[in-house]
A and B are shown apart, each in its own frame.
Chain A
């Protein structure tokens, strides 16, 4: 069919523009992912301190971030903060926006993971004389890890797709570059089809890596999975 022939002819030019953009997509996603993990961990650990005021502040922050669209948060960071003189570049706004948003989401994941291990394990650690912090570090968190890995890797895949949204603040990732390409060539169907294929390939690769990671961490993790079998 004519469509596919034209598509094949144009492919090299499209890829010339979009592959570097894909690199930017990955960079933004990676940056946001790291930020989200750090923020999520901090927020989750803060909640284990069980001081009323801290818990309230943290939970309020989480509820607000999770109850409002990422796009709104992005716009506030990129456009809104200019009112008080803070100017982020599109990429900075993208990473910070997605990262803070993801942090609120992961905070819940981490909190649930920590709480699923907490009680008896912590008590046992305390009775051998560890401080709560040591107990957290050597006993709770390593076990919570295997509980937490699947939702976190699933989040990373969602994050990769969410980077498309930052095109709205002109971050030079796939979606933004694709729109420019369309404005230049008017070939919407071909270009957006290619965009979809590129995201699909990236998601599948990331999903594959995620499954491998889950399997490896599950074996060496706690919750009894690491013990040798009776057979």
Chain B
């Protein structure tokens, strides 16, 4: 398609700045959702591991439900559904909350797997110097678990980056929405969407590459169940 090149030559000056600006929103949405998912996920993981039965049940229930429904459904519930009860969010915050709460369920499982992979002898040694289980979690288990979960966390972040494109369906201002607008106004969907896809690629590939290096390194500084 030699005319592909011609099309880009003509339009790229107009498209690229707009798409990059929208990509900034995508990155912001990803970062905010990631932080929300991280915090809520960590709390859920600790709750699920807790010996207090109601906490464990709540966390398990939350995780099961969130993992069984699409992120888009959560987004719709927050953006459209809550409006029925008078709680109104703009599309961007609704997306952040939706991805954050939905992602928290996946984060919780990542954290839980990381925490339980730490050898029990680590916990016991902490108990024998007089730490409570909570103190042991804070000073001995979690520091090690966080090292273990770094690769899965990074993978989650990359997936989240791509998933934010779904927020375009509720017209949240991010890259995919801008691409759709440009595609329909220019009648050149192929070229526009290819360009948008390339921008996603540029955003995600470096992180994916670093993650793979991380995965190779993670064994340092951790005593896992298998050792």
Chain A residues at the B interface, C-beta cutoff of 8 Å: 63-64, 67-73, 75-76, 79-84, 161-165, 167-168, 175, 178-179, 182, 187-190, 192-193, 195-196, 199-200, 203-204, 207
Contacts and interface: CB of A to CB of B under 8 A. Distances in A.
A175 B73 contact: yes
Contact of A189 (B68, B82, B166): B82
Nearest to B78: A192
A59 to B, nearest CB: 13
Q: Interface residues of B: mostly helix, strand, loop or mixed?
A: helix
A72 B23 CA distance: 14
Interface of B: 1, 65, 67-74, 76-77, 80-85, 162-163, 165-166, 168-169, 176, 179-180, 183, 188-191, 193-194, 196-197, 200-201, 204-205, 208
A15 to B, nearest CB: 17
B70 A83 contact: no
Contact of B165 (A69, A163, A187, A188): A69
Given A81-B190, A167-B169, A69 B69 contact: no
B73 A196 contact: yes
Contacts of B69: 161, 196, 199-200, 203
13 contacts: A69-B166, A72-B176, A75-B193, A163-B70, A167-B72, A167-B169, A188-B76, A188-B80, A188-B83, A195-B76, A199-B69, A203-B69, A204-B68
Given A64-B201, A68-B162, A76-B197, A195 B73 contact: yes
A192 B85 CA distance: 13
Nearest to A204: B68
A72 B80 contact: no
A189 B76 CA distance: 9
A164 B183 CA distance: 22
Contacts of B162: 67-70
Contacts of A163: 70
A182 B80 contact: yes
B168 to A, nearest CB: 7
Contacts of A190: 84
User: Considering residues B69, B82, B180, which has the most beta carbons from chain A within 10 angstroms of its beta carbon?
Assistant: B69
A72 B193 contact: yes
Contact of B176 (A71, A84, A162, A196): A71
A79 B85 CA distance: 37
B70 A69 contact: no
A83 B194 CA distance: 13
Given A81-B190, A83-B189, A192 B73 contact: yes
Nearest to B83: A188
A101 to B, nearest CB: 10
A80 B204 contact: no
Nearest to B80: A188
B169 A168 contact: yes
Interface-centre pick from A70, A80, A84, A163 (highest chain B CB count, 10 A): A80
B87 to A, nearest CB: 10
Contacts of A81: 190
Contact of B68 (A167, A175, A200): A200
